[in-house]
Amino acid sequence: QVQLVESGGGLVQAGDSLRLSCAASGLTFSTYAMGWFRQAPGKERELVATMRWDGGIISYGDSVKGRFTISRDNAKNTVYLQMNSLRPEDSAVYYCAAGQYKRPQSRYVYDYWGQGTQVTVSS
């Protein structure tokens, strides 16, 4: 059974930093692309950052480029999201996801999702 467990969320002030972690189990972590996504109330889920199994960056959302950094430790089955210079508009539930490249769709498909961790940034 695949489990993705996020941690590290919380309430911070604008300009602060947070580091999210996502511990994975039940899958061969080193063969999966990992991603962070977020969803704010009343808004669609959006991509934050995604990374290939080998650590290569797939993409960052435009709104977080230069402020957020995704990384992974395959030995610990964990993916991280370092968030700097946080803004109130970064407030959302942040989800970790694991996926693989699907040739029929010609894109990464994220099949496994965590429960999410809340990040709230006050102004």
**pLDDT tens sequence for the chain (123 residues):** 999 999 999 999 999 999 999 999 999 999 999 999 999 999 999 999 999 998 888 899 999 999 999 999 999 999 999 999 999 999 999 999 999 999 998 899 999 999 999 999 999
Do 78 and 23 touch, CB atoms closer than 8 A? yes
Q: Which residues contact 99 (CB under 8 A, 6 or more apart)?
A: 32, 33, 34, 35, 108, 109, 110, 111, 112
pLDDT of residue 58: 87
pLDDT, tens digit, for every residue of 40-70? 999 999 999 999 998 888 899 999 999 999 9
